[in-house]
Structures are given as structure tokens and as C-alpha cells.
Chain A
Amino acid sequence: GQNIDQPTEMTATEGAIVQINCTYQTSGFNGLFWYQQHAGEAPTFLSYNVLDGLEEKGRFSSFLSRSKGYSYLLLKELQMKDSASYLCAARGDGGATNKLIFGTGTLLAVQP
């Protein structure tokens, strides 16, 4: 089957670094997304990884290891506004069409 696993909740301190992990199992693999979702709002795009390695975008970086079925999102210099849910989503092979499977999200609380 196809499955995404990520921690339900995490807590971190303002100014610190936090790593949110995601493991996935898909039939085939065509890329992995990270989205941010503030409470009561729509998800917004953070990153998309297709190849192994680390991609950096400002305070946010995303890492992918296809052989391990593993990704993480790294948030540096945490700010209070980073308190949100972070959704991991993997594209799998659905045969005639691609599939996009989302995890249930990791709720990050940034404390002063």
C-alpha cells in the first residue's frame, strides 16, 4: 500500500532549529512535497524534491533520500509565525495516472 508517516506534534523554541521527518511508501516515486498550513487556513507550498540531497530556500531546507524513502524539512532561526502544521506529500505511480498522497501533518508549536 501507499503510506506517509510523520510525527503528530513537535515543540521548539524561538530562534532554534527544528527538523521534521517524513517517511513514505509509495508504488513508484515521482517526487516529494512539503506544504505549510496555518490553523484555519489553506496549505501553502514550501518545497518539492525529486532528486536526492538537500535543497535550501532561505530559512527552510528540504532533504530527500529516495533509497530510504525518507525526507525531512529543516527550519532554522525559528520564528513564532512558523507555528503551523507541516504536510509531507509524495507522488507515487498510480498506473495510468500519478497519485499524490499526503501525510496527516506535523503540528509545530514555537515557544518564546
Chain B
Amino acid sequence: DAGVIQSPRHEVTEMGQEVTLRCKPISGHDYLFWYRQTMMRGLELLIYFNNNVPIDDSGMPEDRFSAKMPNASFSTLKIQPSEPRDSAVYFCASSLAGLAYEQYFGPGTRLTVT
């Protein structure tokens, strides 16, 4: 298997622009997670899906952030409008059966908002 695939790997954008991050989970994994990682706050769980349905989005920092999973093989995380404090590495991960199981992380998207 190719593992979890994320795109783009790097994104540089200006404040106020819309940013869309993309993720393809491992085939057969029913759970998909979006994380944000910064030096100050470490790794934070933003939202996770089970069978394409959002289960817990309490980690999403504010309304500027939204996530969708239209099918089992694709998810997006959108930031609109973006702000400099959104600069971070965003990871997507998938697992077979939820939080009690090993998660496989994608390579991450390094986002820089200027």
C-alpha cells in the first residue's frame, strides 16, 4: 500500500487567502484524523471521521477551519480566510478502527501564511 497520501507537501500563501489541504487514507481504514503540529502546542487533534462521518470536531480552532470527507478515499481540510498563526504542519492519519488503534500518518503539509 502507498500509505496515507497528502497534498500539497508545502504551501505558502498570503493572509486572507483560502487554503485547501488534501488527504487520501489507506484503503480499508475506516477512521481518518486531521492534526496540526506546532513547536508551541505540539500535535493537536483537530477532527476525526468514521466511515466518512465527522465524529468529533471539538479540536477545530475556529469557524475558519472546515473539514469534509465526501468518500472513503478522500478528505479535505480548508482554512478560509487563512492567518499567519495558522502556519504549522498539518498531518492526516488513518486507522482501522478508531482511537484505540495504531494510526498511520501521512507525510504532512507544511503551511506558511505570510
Contact = CB atoms under 8 A, between A and B. Distances in A.
B109 to A, nearest CB: 11
Q: How large is the interface on B (under 10, 10 to 19, 20 to 34, 35 or more residues)?
A: 20 to 34
B105 interface: yes
B2 interface: no
Interface of A: 30-31, 41-45, 48, 50, 87, 89, 91, 94, 97-105
A42 B108 contact: yes
Interface of B: 41-45, 55-56, 58, 91, 98-108
A5 B98 CA distance: 24
Contact of B42 (A30, A45, A94, A104): A104
B58 A48 contact: no
A43 B105 contact: yes
Given A98-B100, A102-B42, 13 more contacts: A30-B99, A42-B91, A42-B106, A42-B107, A43-B103, A45-B104, A48-B102, A89-B43, A91-B100, A99-B56, A101-B45, A102-B44, A105-B42
